Structure 1
């Protein structure tokens, strides 16, 4: 039974998926009147506490799939249920409320507001929460910064933080509203190996403690190996595989270099030491 958006969700049982995709497709029309079929019947179930990794070569549809999972785009066909809600039937405003309440995003490039402090960046999602979240936003944001080990850097702007610190601020921002589903899009792509491992361990720990589901989109087999389940997106179809099989499939496309799975035609991510300052322009949106 689908509950009204404003009602509390029932306690999830091990048999009740948090996220369900059934025969989901995504197609877009081309200027020549042909149709590009990006996703071709995706079936996926993600449970509370799950850690799922999705790997695939460039152009396989990973970004499209991420946008569907995050309720940013709509599927062409099939069913997508999040926390018991059939999102295809929702108007944009209801989808936005559900996305803000239930989904947290962690991006490769951090996407922090350069003119705001770490604390203000983490507070930002709380501005769009309910009244209780709004009035408690500073305390909640500070608690989350403490959780990621950055309480002493709360008043620093992104230009004064290292790459690893910026990503930890981004993690705190994604989790401050206690989402049920965490979507991490190449969360270690702009970090060095050691810092990336620390960020993934932090993400996994916080997700596990809050019984949230963590879905990681990655080219990095070392990151994928940290998950409980691995899927390969190939030809618009999602395949349940182990990490070794995923590596073999990516290797056949020339997409593995230096022990990490990377798209052959993608730019190499910058390596940022954990304490090296990262330049960022000043200025930003007002809170």
Structure 2
């Protein structure tokens, strides 16, 4: 077990990564600009402007996200030999050049997918939907990008770490497909599909519960770096609480107004 862990860690450390993910500075710069725009300069820019429609951009973004998640699932199934759902198993990355190459190619791809998801908050700002730029929404996008960076550099559990990616991709296919339909459908269809929003939030909470379950198994059976364990568990716990809080306010409390934020 310890040998498997050290093999995965040493392979990751020996890799020469593209410059944009080799060091954290590019990610930190992008996240800094993101925070500055969505919380300060963006709302100020839109203060006396009419909201942009951006329908084509929204449709294109949703299509890209669905297709990206389908590709990610294909790669995860390949890397795990179609058994990624067995989350309790320790899965060393190994030393096969093909496996190592595809493992890191997928992690780089995920980095750019999570980077592209930052566009959603920008779209909210440009459409003057600042109420949807919640603390949970920003935390979600901020933290997921940092987790992918950790997947590239600090993963000691090999392919097992892609169980989280597997769950997230399934959830995102459902979620972005819903967003895509609502972006092109008429108001009658959108009203008919409204209950699906509640189901998506429930699915998201179930995802976080399954992730925390895997963390428990992986910690006991396989071992996880303490720093990674603490940060990862913190992020997932905050997300679970945030989505639960959103769920109770949006669907179980008496409605206080028309709109509520979509939180991913």
TM-score tier after normalising by the smaller chain length: under 0.3
Higher RCO structure (Cα 8 Å, ≥6 apart): 2
Normalized per residue, the structure richer in helix is 2
Normalized per residue, the structure richer in strand is 1
TM-score by length of 2: 0.26
